A and B are shown apart, each in its own frame.
Chain A
Amino acid sequence: MRKKKPPANLELIDLYSTLLNEIWGKVSELIGESLLTFLILLIISRISDEFPILRGIRVSEAGISLEAMRNQFHDASPGDLHRAFHGFVKNLFNVFTAITENVINRELFSAVLPKLREAEKIVSS
């Protein structure tokens, strides 16, 4: 019997959860957990009016989690989820550029770009 594929929105949450945890791991090594927490909260506060879904992101110095979103946004459309997370990652890169030019982003490109492509595939399928 074939294993049932999870709905696209949950698949996207899982994918972005992996991506954000990867970003957390790399960036917290460079600038520390407290500054990274501050920057993530800053971005959420700035763009959550446009993407209310992002209010479901839980972040503290212990790490970043999308667990709460799985229940909260189980009926959100994959397109909306992708746009929100894509906006979030884009803003994250903008902040990293503003403070360190390309020092952080250089460390992230290889991890982020394939995941974003994967997310686009999920949305378009």
Chain B
Amino acid sequence: MKIIFKNLKTLWSIINAINASPELADIIEAAGSKLSNLFDILAFSVLLKEGLDLHIYCDKSSSQLFIDEVAKNTIKTFSFIAGDRLTPEQVRTHVERRQFESRWRGSSNGRLKSHISLPLINKGKVLGCASINSDLTNAFDAQALQFFSLITYQMASSMKHSQVISSMKDMAIYDTLTQVFNRRHLNQVLEEELRNSFREKQPLSIVMVDIDHFKAINDRYGHDEGDKALIHIASMLKASLRKHDIVARFGGEEFLVILPKAIMKDAVVIAERIRRSIEATPLSMDGEEVHLTVSLGVAAIPAIWPDSKEEFIKCADTALYEAKGKGRNRVCFYVPTKDPPAKGILSK
């Protein structure tokens, strides 16, 4: 009776640990680090359908052969349940070696002899597969199965919750069409970057990008093709930027790029690179090969010291307006005068 109570107590502590965080990595870690308190296992594995990541938590005495067998078996069971024929090459395997509490037998060069591999299901959808693995024959009984079922049920439920939270977070910051940041998130990031720039006296540039003749594209090819053009430009922007640069959809066919620590000269070089790459990369629209172009307006600190992000954006917008006025498909930058921003000198 005491053993049953001890096991139930351990079971509840595992379930509580799984419930404690909405982060996927923490849910897996909670199970991976605690399951050996409940079962005499040599490894615990989880294969996630999203991303095809296979996490294996194993006792430090596990042989590579055992780990390979666990990986193979987990992939096989998942394939069987999900109906996808996966190979080990398609899966990213992460191995964590730990000292498992239940391992009192010392080092093991054993083979995989028993397993329980349960699908992680939520509302009829397969999220993955979780497995407990042993180098002993018939290591698991009906009670182990009951306990592991409860754990996987809880894992699936927490994982689904985590996915919902993560997709809500994404929806709150990403533009759903182009998958770059939305304007609301842009405002937050730009505010923060401006503060950093002022505090650390570091340069900061922004580039306003506008697709040339976008209305004509929509009129000629229709709105679906227009959306395709927006997606194309967003992906070209992302591809042309440095790792820490930020791109957001400002609205309509306008995008804003934030270039932290870039002085005006660097920002113009980047803007010109963007312009050239977009001009050189055709997009197939309604069966036709179309070369889109963009106009770009650059504003930079310390060339100017704007009072607010709105003023900073207005400077870039003024430069963009100039680029449009000079015939489009070009980069203009904002140079301040003593006059208000809208009357600054603009140059190509």
Contact = CB atoms under 8 A, between A and B. Distances in A.
A41 B121 contact: no
B142 interface: yes
A31 B118 contact: yes
Contacts, number: 57
Question: Which residue among A46, A95, A100, A106 has the maximum number of chain B CB atoms within 10 Å of its CB?
Answer: A100
A122 B194 CA distance: 83
B334 to A, nearest CB: 60
Interface in B119-165: 119, 121, 124, 138, 140-142, 144-146, 149-150, 152-153
A30 to B, nearest CB: 5
Contacts of A95: 80
Given A31-B118, A32-B153, A35-B118, A103 B81 contact: no
Nearest to A46: B83
Q: Classify chain B's interface size.
A: 20 to 34
A30 B118 contact: no
Interface majority SS (helix, strand, loop, mixed), chain A: helix
A35 B121 contact: yes
A29 B124 CA distance: 19
B142 A103 contact: yes
Given A35-B153, A46-B83, 20 more contacts: A30-B145, A30-B146, A30-B149, A31-B118, A32-B153, A34-B121, A35-B121, A35-B149, A37-B124, A38-B124, A42-B81, A98-B77, A98-B80, A99-B117, A99-B119, A102-B138, A103-B116, A103-B142, A103-B144, A107-B142
11 contacts: A30-B142, A30-B146, A31-B149, A32-B149, A34-B153, A35-B121, A41-B124, A42-B81, A99-B81, A101-B140, A103-B142
Interface of B: 77, 80-81, 83, 114-119, 121, 124, 138, 140-142, 144-146, 149-150, 152-153
List the 10 closest A-B pairs by CB distance, nearest first: A31-B149, A38-B121, A103-B145, A30-B145, A100-B116, A98-B80, A32-B149, A99-B117, A30-B146, A35-B121
